[in-house]
Structure 1
């Protein structure tokens, strides 16, 4: 079948126009969606990146919080966005690994997205108020063992690291995974505020979300999941030192992703921006200041890393009876 000359001419004109549009990318501000509430780890990472990557990109980066459903609302918004690189996602462990790993009804698959790079790794800490009676993780576990169901923990959703990390700790201690009561909030920042205010008794969350309370003497960390003691909190024992080496598997992270089908020039542009960011002392210092570890990797390495995380949480969900 022969195509009309007008159709052929239109197609030939459209192709160079699309190529020129990609070459000009970005031609307007880029929206970076943080799928959790202000003050949480994804929000902090997004604003830290936006404040330093814009000069490497050549356009402003506007952070937009789209919250709800363990990060699915914001993540799905980016999944449905036009694949032009002007709407991106600060991919988070909960919404981009845990949810698709354990929830068969999740509205997206983890590997549908175009991964642009890993941004940082965020140590996980178990924290209580500074005036709490438990000085060590062992003391806290024994209290839970004596009074199952009497203590609570803060969470930003059932399929988040804040909830699953505590459930996994309880399982490793030989306790029922529901031996503490989950108190849900919209994001990690709200959970940290609730701990300081006395609304919750235990928090397991990323260091970046609770660093301010630790530095201000309002909270006490009982364990950190890094293999070695973390420089920002040198007096806090590691999971291995505390007798729970399996907890090292629980760690937060942030990655940069876009909708399916982002053009190669957009991907290459962002990989170049992230490579420049990896040498940007301002961003490195700001990232460390909030308790994260700069960990720039390219899109392929980010996808491989997140795939391994999905496999880990799929197995954890099965063990906890959460897969559905």
Structure 2
């Protein structure tokens, strides 16, 4: 009997030594970084910026792989179902990791079905009017909504997108109800911005990347950004907090790094350390800012809290607006 216990103890010791050795030699092969959207978007930019610096720290390449489809669900499920050995990771996005699980019960995964490794960046979200509009600030917009409830209109790329959730959170904050202005849906963020240019709608809120050219060209006026600090390229545009509406900071684009559920503490610490290093790396900062994003690295625990807050915002707004994706 004692011999039997000794054999089990030896096996357990050998297993733990093997696991530790595996972690200490990690990574000994390339790491697949799944991007759950097609090439060219914010998620793609975040992956490629991270891949630039990861090899310097890890000694192995981080290989971006686009697995698009189902609003980010296909790539997300692939990582959720992967081995937790650190060789398959996910570029998590606001749409696929907060909006989709909040609004689509059949998405196939929950917001917290992953190992949180760190937040990477924020993608500025702005509200714009036409350059010649009498609405020149967030205060002007709030005053106009109060004075003419249901008369103004705004462009979105669909009811379940952050182009709609930003204005809806503003209406909610102003206690004006979901019909404070009329939503007009277009096929994408680019078309939604063009609708403001054409004078077809009074305002629009969305990712800065789809509007920056026309803002810089003087055709659109940015009246607010939801980022915690002013955007470097738009130094004269106040933040939502400065304008008196800090609640709007909840609506912002973001990228984070997730792994499959069950990754070891050692692997999580390895990636947390690597991301902390990236946050000080001039090359990563430059690549992130060049893509129009704001570097914002958070620890694994702070990333989980951030993701929980984001999920709660979209779950509440989805319930309020009665939006459920089939």
Q: Secondary structure at the match of 1:261?
A: coil
In the other structure, the counterpart of 2:155 is 152
Q: How far off is 1:213 after superposition? A: 5.2
Structure 2: runs of 5+ lacking an equivalent: none
Checking the alignment, whether the CA contact within 8 Å between 1:70 and 1:160 is kept in structure 2 is no
1:144-184 CA distances to partner (integer Å, 9 max, x unpaired)?
x68869753235xx544233223334555635178212224
Give the aligned partner of residue 280 of structure 2: 279
Go from structure 1 to structure 2 and tell me whether the alpha carbon gap of 1:127 and 1:29 turns closer, same or farther (over 3 Å shift): farther
User: Unpaired runs of 5+ in structure 1?
Assistant: 186-190
SS in 2 for 1:56: helix
Q: Using the TM superposition, give the Cα deviation of residue 319 of structure 1 relative to its aligned residue in structure 2, in angstroms.
A: 2.0
8 Å contact kept, 2:154–2:181: no
SS at match of 1:26: coil
Q: How many residues align?
A: 316
1:231 correspondence with 2:232:
yes
Which residue, out of 158, 181, 187, partners 2:184?
181
Matches within 5 A, 1:70-85: 70-85=71-86
Q: 1:111 to 1:139 in 2, by over 3 A?
A: closer
Note if contact 1:117-1:302 (Cα within 8 Å) is conserved in structure 2: yes
TM-score where L is the length of structure 2: 0.78
Matched residues in 2 for 1:37 and 1:203: separation? 24
- The answer as to 2:23 corresponding to 1:22 is yes
Q: 1:114 Cα deviation (Å)? A: 0.4
Looking at structure 2, the residues matched to 102 and 287 of structure 1 have their Cα atoms a distance apart, in angstroms, of: 29
- With over 3 angstroms needed to count, the CA separation of the structure-2 counterparts of 1:131 and 1:277, relative to structure 1, is same
CA distance in 2 between partners of 1:183 and 1:13 (Å): 60
- Are the counterparts in 1 of residues 114 and 258 from structure 2 also a CA contact under 8 Å? yes
Distance across 2 between alignment mates of 1:212 and 1:258: 35
- Relative to the length of structure 1, the TM-score reads 0.79
CA RMSD of superposed structures (Å) = 3.9
Q: Write the deviation string for residues 68-97 of structure 1: whole angstroms up to 9, x where unpaired.
A: 333222211211112111111111122212
